[in-house]
């Protein structure tokens, strides 16, 4: 259920026409709330309709898997179009996509399992059940980068040129994929009473927050941030295609910095962070991403030297 309540004060006559309250239930609305129109508000309440789209016998089609598959298909299509504008064979990107999937998805799962080993060691049969959720984007980026380097070496194509082409699709894919967390009622933030909030069923809440109903919709925060990053990267890519102002690798380095800034902030709100001692690993990796991206840009534009490459 996704319930949306929006009110903009536009005049008392309209209030009189609508009455003393507004009761709206939108899209998945199974329940409603009432708000006094005497005070202006903008409020959004999100509640997952469930993780399954449908079930047929033992077969279950889940939103998480569908969204990941959708993100991959859209990303591959977009990257192939961007490659063509850079005079790179789009078929090379289609081949690269297979390498990225084979490198990124297992690495994303292994990264997650490694930091949740205390739980998975008790239930090792759960390790392969990736369709139930539990992957880490930083693991996917590491695994995908290694796979892309090997691919670039074999095909004798600049790794950084490939990285620039793939970066916008990566940001867009993350924006889409975060909605899988919404349907799974996972990766949410701390309790909140803000007008925008996410309802979490009691069986999905951390023990210390069992008496709280509403939480920060961190999936939404990160999804919107990634859409903004995607927009910036596409603008840079299109501008560079026309005017050739950027050095090879710049777009991916901007992605590394921009995504990491947003992730660092959002991660501070989450209740389910992967931890290494007292450190939130996503924040540590984000700081590394910001540092490496910044050093890379300084290397390109201050030292005016090319980035180390595999070809």
The SS3 assignment for 126 reads helix
Which residue in 262, 252, 308, 269 sits closest to 287, CA to CA? 262
DSSP annotation of 125: G
Query: pLDDT tens digits, the chain, 311 residues: what are they?
Result: 444 433 333 333 433 333 333 333 333 333 334 444 444 455 778 899 999 999 898 888 999 889 999 999 999 999 999 999 999 999 999 999 999 999 999 999 999 999 998 889 888 888 888 867 688 999 999 999 999 999 999 999 999 999 999 999 999 999 999 999 999 999 999 999 999 999 999 999 999 999 999 999 999 999 999 999 999 999 999 999 999 999 999 999 999 999 999 999 999 999 999 988 899 999 999 999 999 999 999 999 999 999 999 98
What are the beta bridge partners of residue 242?
A: none
Considering the domain architecture, whether residues 262 and 143 belong to the same structural domain is answered as yes
Q: What is the reported pTM?
A: 0.84
The domain of 27 spans 2-47
Considering the domain architecture, whether residues 184 and 222 belong to the same structural domain is answered as yes
DSSP annotation of 256: H
Q: What is the pLDDT of residue 21?
A: 32
Considering the domain architecture, whether residues 293 and 178 belong to the same structural domain is answered as yes
The SS3 assignment for 201 reads coil
Domains of the chain: total: 2
CB distance 79 to 166 below 8 Å: yes
Considering the domain architecture, whether residues 40 and 126 belong to the same structural domain is answered as no
Q: Is the dihedral of CA 266, 269, 272, 274 positive or negative?
A: positive
Q: Where are the alpha helices (DSSP H) in the chain?
A: 12-18, 63-85, 90-115, 117-120, 137-155, 159-183, 218-243, 250-267, 281-301
Considering the domain architecture, whether residues 147 and 20 belong to the same structural domain is answered as no
Considering the domain architecture, whether residues 34 and 110 belong to the same structural domain is answered as no
Is 310 inside a domain boundary? no
Q: What is the pLDDT of residue 27?
A: 34
Considering the domain architecture, whether residues 147 and 223 belong to the same structural domain is answered as yes
Is 306 inside a domain boundary? no
């Amino acid at each position: 259920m996704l319930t949306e309540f929006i009110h903009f004060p536009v005049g008392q006559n309209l209030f009189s026409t609508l009455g003393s309250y507004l009761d709206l239930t939108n899209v998945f609305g199974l329940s409603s709330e009432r708000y006094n129109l005497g005070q202006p508000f903008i409020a959004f309440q999100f509640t997952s309709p469930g993780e399954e789209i449908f079930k047929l016998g033992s077969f279950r089609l889940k939103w998480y898997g569908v969204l990941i598959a959708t993100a991959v298909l859209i990303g591959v299509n977009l990257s192939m179009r961007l490659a063509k504008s850079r005079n790179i064979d789009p078929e090379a990107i289609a081949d690269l996509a297979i390498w990225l999937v084979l490198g990124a998805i297992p690495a994303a799962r292994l990264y997650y399992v490694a930091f949740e080993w205390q739980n998975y060691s008790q239930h090792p049969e759960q390790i392969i059940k990736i369709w139930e959720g539990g992957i880490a984007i930083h693991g996917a980026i590491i695994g995908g980068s290694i796979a892309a380097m090997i691919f670039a070496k074999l095909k004798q194509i600049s790794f950084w040129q490939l990285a620039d082409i793939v970066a916008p699709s990566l940001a867009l894919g993350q924006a889409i994929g975060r909605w899988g967390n919404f349907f799974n009622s996972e990766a949410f933030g701390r309790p909140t009473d803000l007008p925008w909030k996410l309802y979490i069923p009691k069986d999905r809440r951390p023990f210390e927050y069992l008496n709280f109903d509403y939480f920060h919709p961190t999936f939404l925060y990160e999804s919107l941030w990634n859409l903004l990053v995607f927009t910036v990267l596409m603008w840079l890519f299109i501008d560079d295609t026309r005017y050739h102002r950027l050095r090879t690798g710049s777009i991916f380095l901007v992605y590394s910095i921009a995504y990491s800034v947003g992730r660092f902030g959002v991660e501070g709100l989450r209740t389910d962070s992967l931890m290494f001692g007292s450190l939130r690993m996503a924040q540590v990796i984000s700081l590394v991403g910001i540092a490496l991206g910044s050093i890379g840009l300084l290397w390109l534009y201050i030292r005016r030297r090319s980035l180390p490459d595999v070809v």
